Structure 1
Amino acid sequence: MTGDIRVVTIDGPSGSGKGTVSRCLAAQLRWHLLDSGALYRLVALAAERRRIPGTDEAALARVAADMKASFAYRNGVEQVLLEHEDVHAALRAETCGKLASKIAAIPAVRHALLERQRACARRPGLVADGRDMGTVVFPDATVKVFLTASPEERALRRHKQLKQKGIDVSLRDLSKDVSQRDQRDANRTASPLRAAEDARVIDSTRLSPEEVTARILPWLEAAGIESNRA
């Protein structure tokens, strides 16, 4: 599926730390990074701008297939482009995240994004962050990791992130949102959230992103993937 291009997948529920860990690994390996969650947020944002309701599955799938989206770095700053506009900040809004979570349960949308995600596998390699990277998108990945953390810790992490951005959200509401997302992700018919049979599982509840990364690096080296450790 990816030929001889090496892929490392980092899957897990919201707030497990997979995004931060994936960025750390991609930086150390000097590989490409796929933030699959951003793709679903892009679909949500594009649909919102086109005034497409979240219930119109066919229209949402068309958005996923034809939206002009790309990822880039400019002067060391990450950019997410939608129709040539940098929408990186807009994608982090809670409303966008909630709609993206619902859209991600639509099989037609997931199918429309599948080849777009697989096309991200380019030399020298790819770190892919998501919920079905190791089970569906890259089942032949070189190394698969599944991150978990307690629901309470994941809600606390999200609460801290939003407070740092100046967004006031109650911890109770975030805990409820984490629970609802977990249920949607685990119970959806298309690509439900689960660890691949050959994935290595890490509980990150009491670990920092640096500690999680340090646990993964020996697995990569055992698979013949050299990192650029400081």
Structure 2
Amino acid sequence: MNDPMVSRNPSYSSALETNKVLRNTYFLLSLTLVWSAIVATTSMVMGLPHPGLIITLVGFYGLMFLTEKNRNNSMGLVFTFAFTGFIGYTLGPILNAYIGAGMGFAIVPALGGTALTFMVCSFYALTTKRDLSFLSGMLMAGFVVILVGFVANLFLQMPIIHLALSGIFVLFSSGAILLTTQSIIRGGETNYISATITLYVSIYNLFLSLLHILGVMGGDD
């Protein structure tokens, strides 16, 4: 039986739908983060090798494409966990490399910094009345800078550029969290699978960037 209040009040119905998308997004995001942590830990303990740049890029973008393509059906959830599981697998060897290089001390602070940044950004996006849509242009500009810097550093191999890119990635990921969260609140993002993937990738990039910054800065004795 339909709720007469919902049928008479479109704004009330919209609010209910928004809350549902937000609730489903946070729930699925929590599940994927736990799943990734389990896979990453298993990968670390078993000492599995990193799949390499080509396989990583193909797996990352291929699974992301399949997730987005199936975001409106049940296979979207299957590909969501396949994607986040694959990312967890690639993260294990990276963490082992940091530990092997004597920079394992950076892992826990990077996790804490990632969690704190996500909570602060989410809280601000959920409570502010300010329109954050201006961030979309800044994020596009930031993406171009990151892409150019990444390509340039493939040839230059300068640690300072890598460190600068990590700093830009922290800002880029924080902006993506702010923009995505407010987009859910304001009804711009109505698919919780898409929202989850965006937030997950932002958290992943944020963690890796903080890990690199803390590892490099902490290693300068």
Greater fraction helix: 2
TM-score, normalised to structure 2, is 0.24
Larger Rg: 2
Greater fraction strand: 1
**Structure number with higher relative contact order (C-alpha < 8 Å, ≥ 6 residues apart):** 1
